[in-house]
Amino acid sequence: MCINIVRFGSGGLISTTPNSILDTMGFELPELEYDYDALEPHIDAETMELHHSKHHAGYTSKLNAAIEGTELDGLGIEELMTGHFDNAAVRNNGGGYWNHEMFWKTMGPNGGGEPNGDLANAITDTFGSFDSMKEQFANAAMTRFGSGWAWLCVANGTLCICSTPNQDNPLMTGEGIPILGVDVWEHAYYKSYGPGRANYIQEWWNVVDWNMVATNYEGAI
């Protein structure tokens, strides 16, 4: 019997892929839905290419190597994140795989602006305003010491903000279901912004695809 696993498909946060496909293919580096230069001037093409084709590709191949021939082979990525993060290779490389897939999917050349509909209402209800949410999110990203991520999540039906070190994510920690995340590893921004993480985060808001984030929100509540 095929097992349905949580994946990032073109329809948003959750889609399903048969277990048998993973048995034969392993995890594959997802293709971007836009060109490497599509997010300029906010994120430069060279950074995007290296980030996707080297860093994300590396996590993908190392994750496959870590699970090949083990009882973890064929499990879905979310199942690995929630149930097997005690395995250091799975935690680091599976986290890198999952986190970056979320990162690419929630950005786009037509991003920026503000959300609307249910997500906008939830942001106002939880944080008081969209600007207040952005301020709290940026603070989480800025205060993450060293490398890591900041996240907008759904926990028990309510929005919340957190950050995680390295390639950890809230699925591992049980803090919620991420619907938006920003990578604050230096390789994500150093070429254009140097040590200016705050400038990078400010520019990153201009490429956030709020339609995708809203789809993720609907799938998480």
Number of domains in the chain: 2
Residues 93 and 173 in one domain: no
What's the CATH number where 55 sits?
Answer: 1.10.287.990
Phi–psi pair at 2, nearest 5 degrees: -75, 145
Which among 85, 105, 125 is the end of a domain?
A: 105
Q: What is the pLDDT of residue 18?
A: 34
CATH number of the domain within which 156 lies: 3.55.40.20
What's the pTM?
0.87
Q: What CA–CA distance (Å, rounded) separates 143 from 135? A: 12
- Tell me which residue range forms the domain holding 147: 117-220
Extract the residue ranges of the chain whose pLDDT is less than 70: 1-25
In a domain, 61, yes or no: yes
pLDDT tens for each residue of 59-76 = 999 999 999 999 999 999
pLDDT for the residue numbered 25: 59
Q: What is the pLDDT of residue 26?
A: 87
